[in-house]
Amino acid sequence: MLLPLLAVVAGLVLLVWSAERFVDGAASTSRRLGVSPLLVGMLVIGFGTSAPELMVSSLAAGQGNPGLALGNGYGSNIANIGLILGLMAVISPLAVHSGVIRRELPILVAVTFLSALLMWGGVIGRLEGSLLLVLLAAMIGFSIWHARRSGPDPLADETEESLQAHPMSLRSGVTWTVVGLLLLVLSSRVLVWGAVEIAVGFGVSDLIIGLTIVAVGTSLPELASSFSALRKGEHDLVVGNVVGSNLFNTLGVVGLAAVIHPIEAGSEVLMRDWTLMTVMTLLMTVFAIGWRGRPGRINRLEGAMLLSLFIGYTVFMVQLVLRSAGSL
């Protein structure tokens, strides 16, 4: 059991480091090639921080462990909202000014409910996975079209400031993109192997390991980028990272994994994990958009509420693992 634990720790450390290099390199390269700051913030940074989830889930599905892929996708969504957004709001209330984020939040709610319909029969098959990928492609296409037609947006301004704070040449950007991607693949392989071995050793499903250890680990790049943005007062970038990442997880990560290998989704996923993910998504949407004239803002109390939901869920899942290990 020691070797798998070391593999998970080493895999996570390398995964976080390589993901940061990949996102920084891809964002800088995109900007150097003339991509607008708004698209860099929406797609490259927002979706790029989900590269660890995509790599881990794809490899897990390809190796016959689709439960790990599903747990990673949904567990990361829960961690993004509860751990990252909740913790950031507790540290400093988050004001949401970006119209892009307010437009994407209802889309995230819609695709979250769609995901329940797709797993209603107990399996997310290749057809359902293909539908999720088509929706992701359509959303990316719409985002590009809208970004070209829209006016100034706070998310674009914050993205431009972030890129100017850490300038890279085109050559450096391309180099770090390639190096980061290669190391993402390597670290994902190490992490998946260790996670599967731990699941076998503790006698729990790979779904549970995906929802806990792997989900939190692959969310660490979002946590790091959110801390960095928060220090600079870039609140829209913090919220945008979470919204973009969760959209990509729900559509791209789960969709690609299902295309590679159909995913069994038992009733406990729908009743436990999906339900909590949906409640947290709805709360985030209401807080960030605002209501009855209240401006979009996630205050400390609301952040503490999201963080408490995540902590309670994590404690419950750890208890499941310990009970399974005790019954061996």
CATH assignment of the domain containing 141:
1.20.1420.30
User: What does each of the 328 residues of the chain score in pLDDT, given as a tens digit?
Assistant: 778 889 888 988 888 888 888 878 888 888 887 777 767 766 777 677 778 888 888 988 998 888 889 999 999 999 999 999 999 999 999 988 877 788 889 999 999 999 999 998 889 999 999 999 999 999 888 877 876 776 666 766 777 777 776 678 888 888 888 888 888 888 888 888 888 888 878 788 888 888 888 888 888 777 877 887 788 788 888 888 899 889 989 999 999 999 999 998 888 899 999 999 999 999 999 999 876 656 678 999 999 999 999 999 999 998 887 777 666 5
**Which residues make beta-bridge pairs with 297?**
95
CB 210 within 8 A of CB 60: yes
Instruction: Give the per-residue pLDDT at 328.
Output: 54
Q: What type of residue is 7?
A: A
Structural domain boundaries enclosing 129 = 52-150+189-326
In this structure, is residue 318 part of a structural domain?
yes
In this structure, is residue 42 part of a structural domain?
no
CB 280 within 8 A of CB 254: no
- Phi/psi region, residue 203 (left: phi>0; alpha: psi -120 to 50; beta: rest), is left
The domain tally of the chain equals 1
pTM (2 d.p.): 0.88
In this structure, is residue 103 part of a structural domain?
yes
Q: How far is CA 26 from CA 31, 186, 228, in A?
A: 9, 18, 17
Instruction: Give the per-residue pLDDT at 80.
Output: 94
In this structure, is residue 25 part of a structural domain?
no
In this structure, is residue 179 part of a structural domain?
no
In this structure, is residue 60 part of a structural domain?
yes
| Burial environment of residue 178 by CB neighbours within 10 A (0 to 12, 13 to 18, 19 or more) | middle
CA angle 276, 281, 282 (to 5 degrees): 100
- List the one residue out of 73, 33, 24, 128 whose CA is nearest residue 274: 73
| Burial environment of residue 328 by CB neighbours within 10 A (0 to 12, 13 to 18, 19 or more) | exposed
In this structure, is residue 72 part of a structural domain?
yes
In this structure, is residue 157 part of a structural domain?
no
- List the one residue out of 57, 22, 34 whose CA is nearest residue 191: 57
Instruction: Give the per-residue pLDDT at 74.
Output: 95
Reduce the secondary structure of the chain to three states and give it as a string.
CHHHHHHHHHHHHHHHHHHHHHHHHHHHHHHHCCCCHHHHHHHHHHHHCCHHHHHHHHHHHHCCCHHHHHHHHHHHHHHHHHHHHHHHHHHCCEECCCHHHHHHHHHHHHHHHHHHHHCCCCEECHHHHHHHHHHHHHHHHHHHHHHHHCCCCHHHHHHHHHHHHCCCCHHHHHHHHHHHHHHHHHHHHHHHHHHHHHHHHHCCCHHHHHHHHHHHHHCHHHHHHHHHHHHCCCHHHHHHHHHHHHHHHHHHHHHHHHHHCCEECCHHHHHHHHHHHHHHHHHHHHHHHCCCCCCCEECHHHHHHHHHHHHHHHHHHHHHHHHHHHCC
CB 218 within 8 A of CB 76: yes
d(CA 48, CA 222): 10
Burial readout 136-175 (b: 16 or more C-beta within 10 A, e: otherwise)? beebbeebeeebeeeeebbbbbbbbebbeeeebeeeebbe
